[in-house]
Structure 1
């Protein structure tokens, strides 16, 4: 596991910039720059430029319709050529199994987050679904977004209990996924709470073991565990929670 407490992690195929400050240009034209954020909770932050902006959930604090509209509009206003987001446990209005809003309001909200204006602005909301995106130089990336998280603190959206539900959620992730957005961390990877507990999902860790093509995994949820690492196989893992670290994590991946 390649990890570092400073500002930069680096291998032949990946560079990760962890703290605010000067961000050097991409290593070359044959690299893709990902701007990784999570757990913005209705806050708006200045973001660095990049090819693809990734938001790993908890767009809002209270999960209201108004908050979700504001968060989506903020993301849509960003200049990144492609922007991808998922929900988190705070984004309760987007969970069809909760009754925080009426059925009519829910249907209107789902139409809102999938509306043509966002698609035309290349902002994509994913809910247990895949998306293939293409950069300006023609590199394609296969992305999957999973808002689910193991029950951790009280009620919330997209939460599951026990290994059976966890396995059902994690089996939805296709084997050809190259970039994974999940709200929950995997177990034992940037998931340690302030009380020293590993709050990540064991079933997600098991699934990650067979996702051989996955080169970047971005998540959040456990704010105090924000950080990044690169494993021996070259996969970059980023807990991009902004509540404790109000700056984006930059990940450059070589195109191959």
Structure 2
């Protein structure tokens, strides 16, 4: 029996050659905070947010130009709670960023498709690989409120409005926050993931890969199996690189 998913941690596991046209290789990263790293090659690069360190356009540009330079055919990114210049809320006078900087940043990330780099924000994205495999992706930058930041929500009702937008046929989900009790334990032992997102994931019966970050100290990956109501097993990846400085590679059988 061929397992439907294989996980490799850069720097820990030996990453074998690409397994062939019957597979898609996803390279998962997050929380790079304006730093650049060596990452493995693959079919699809997924960045789960905190592109910048403290949210300025100049810091964002460092990350985007680095991502553009990578040779993955498809590259998809979402924002995170540090990416202030991408959150339209931060253009309001009470938040303090110049409105023109926010508009410039949002225009900038949306203009990178020619380089194969796609920014998604509470929206779906679909692509087709040369193998003919079609993948349905959904990305959200949202996270529960924690200090000052971007794309944050305070109540369960706000979270439900955000996550109820995820289509039921999503194959690949990218969120900045982890779900509750999935690779979300902080250094103080608290589970900091989102309850509402966990409940939504239970409804996504076709979701094969969920990539997130946010909780730096709990980077890693696991395969969620044994749910009789799911059509497929799901790989969960906390791809935060701030501590590990290493990507996580996931091969999915087409």
Q: TM-score range by the shorter chain?
A: over 0.9
- For residues 19-30 of structure 1, what are the structure 2 equivalents within 5 Å? 19-20=10-11, 22-30=14-22
Give 1:182's match in structure 2, choosing from 144, 157, 175.
175
Equivalent position to 2:46, from 50, 54, 58 = 54
Structure 1 residue runs without a partner (length 5+): 1-9
Partner of 2:229: none
Unaligned runs of 5+ in 2: 226-231
CA contact (8 A) 1:56 1:240 kept: yes
Give the C-alpha shift of residue 32 in structure 1: 0.1
TM-score w.r.t. structure 1 length?
Answer: 0.92
SS of match in other structure, 1:133: strand
- RMSD of Structure 2 on Structure 1 (CA): 1.3
Q: 1:16 aligns with which of 7, 14, 30?
A: 7
- Cα distance per residue 1:49-106 (max 9 Å; x no partner): 1000000000111110101112111111100000000000000111111234222222
For residues 82 and 247 of structure 1, what CA distance do their matches in structure 2 show? 19
Secondary structure of 1:54's match? strand
Match of residue 206 from structure 2? 213
Q: 2:218 aligns with which of 225, 243, 247?
A: 225
Distance in 2 (CA, whole Å) between partners of 1:77 and 1:159 is 30
1:127-156 per-residue CA deviation (whole Å, 9 max, x = no partner) reads 10110011121211001110000013x110
The residue number in structure 1 matching 2:36 is 44
Tell me the distance in 1 between the aligned counterparts of 2:96 and 2:253: 43
1:119 matched to 2:110: no
User: 1:219-253, CA deviations, whole angstroms, 9 ceiling, x for partnerless residues?
Assistant: 00000111110011520000000011111000000
1:63 correspondence with 2:42: no
SS in 1 for 2:101: helix
1:129 correspondence with 2:123: yes
Contact 1:63–1:93, Cα closer than 8 Å, also in 2: yes
Q: Match for residue 4 of structure 1?
A: none
The answer on whether the counterparts of 2:8 and 2:14 sit within 8 Å (CA) in structure 1 is no
Moved over 3 A (4+): none
CA distance change for structure 1 residues 142 and 100 in 2, over 3 Å: closer, same or farther?
farther
Tell me, in whole angstroms, the C-alpha distance in 1 between the residues paired with 2:37 and 2:105: 24
Matching of residues 27-106 of structure 1 within 5 Å: 27-98=19-90, 99-106=95-102
Residues 184-232 of structure 1: CA deviation (Å, up to 9, x unaligned)? 0000000000111000000000000000111000000000111110011
Please give the alpha-carbon distance, in whole angstroms, between the structure 1 residues aligned to 2:96 and 2:203: 36
Which residue of structure 1 aligns with residue 249 of structure 2?
250
Report what 1:6 is aligned to.
Answer: none
How far the C-alpha of 1:11 sits from its partner, in A, is: 6.8
